[in-house]
Amino acid sequence: MELKLTRAELEILLQTRHPTDDEMQLINQFKPYGLDPWESSELMRFALIASNNLIHGSGQVWDKNVLETMVASYPGCALMIDHEWKDQTKTFGMIYDSFIYSLPRVSKEGIVRILEKSPNPSEDYRIIQKDGYHQVLVFGFAEATHPIISEISYGRKADVSMGGIFYGESICPICDIPYSDPKCPHYPPYMAGLVDEETLTPYYRRSGKMDSIECSFVASGSCRQARLIDSRLNTFVFT
């Protein structure tokens, strides 16, 4: 869903290390059945930018329909390290809420902040002008005494990356139709070396459904703006 909070409300929320009473109601929906409710003082809460609609390291762009299903399927998913899906020791917390914060138009200051980290600034700029900017926010919690809390608190862990299973198709950003449509003469960028270079598109869009699995702390994610929201509000853009 779209984030309803104003900038002021979000900033106030992020001033607190422990979840508010309203958040505790959401969080306690995930406690194992029969246990006493968790207390706010037992937990630490994080706000993360998990994804957006810009060009990621792999050359792909999530369409808004993917981001919407990513958000809808996020509550209850794990916070973990390095997308190690086959290693249960790498999970340390849970996502309890997720939103899209959309900007149909982005201010000049916002554009500068977004593109600061962009490997494809001119293409990303065109995407923002055409489709707006859509940021996926994830709110997660972990036990306040977990060792990873100090790693996050002291900045050793900050970059994140979303993990999920995508069901959908690849869309040509020039023709606005799937590459599989005979009317599209193009190929996605990962076909480089296999097809005529002039038929490659600078990136490829993915449209469909994302079944979110987890959000990982990583050394460097393929979405350059995906990160813990820090005291500067870093790459998070309000206007």
* Nearer of residues 186 and 227 to Zn ion, judged by Cβ: 186
Q: Nearest approach, Cβ of 68 to Zn ion (angstroms)?
A: 24
Beta carbon of residue 134, minimum distance to Zn ion (angstroms, whole number): 23
Which residue, 183 or 232, is less far from Zn ion as judged by CB?
183
Minimum Å gap between C-beta 175 and Zn ion is: 3
Smallest distance, Zn ion to C-beta of residue 124, A: 19
Q: How far is the CB of 199 from Zn ion (least distance, A)?
A: 8
Nearer to Zn ion, 175 or 191 (CB): 175
* Minimum gap (Å) between residue 179 Cβ and Zn ion: 7
Nearer to Zn ion, 60 or 225 (CB): 60
Beta bridge partners of 94: 78, 141
**Residue whose CB is less far from Zn ion, 123 or 214:** 123
CB-nearer residue toward Zn ion: 144 or 184: 184
DSSP string, the chain: -B----HHHHHHHHT-SSPPHHHHHHHGGGSPTTSPPPPGGGEEEEEEEEEESS--TTSEEE-HHHHHHHHHT-TTPEEEETT-TT-GGGEEEEEEEEEEEEESS--HHHHHHHHTT-SSHHHHHHHHHHH-EEEEEEEEEEETTSTHHHHHHTTS--BEEEEEEEEEEEE-TTTSSBTTSTT---B-GGGBTTB-GGGB-SSEEEEEEEEEEEEEE-SS-SSTT-EE--TT-TT----
Binding site for Zn ion (CB under 5 A): 172, 174-175, 184, 186
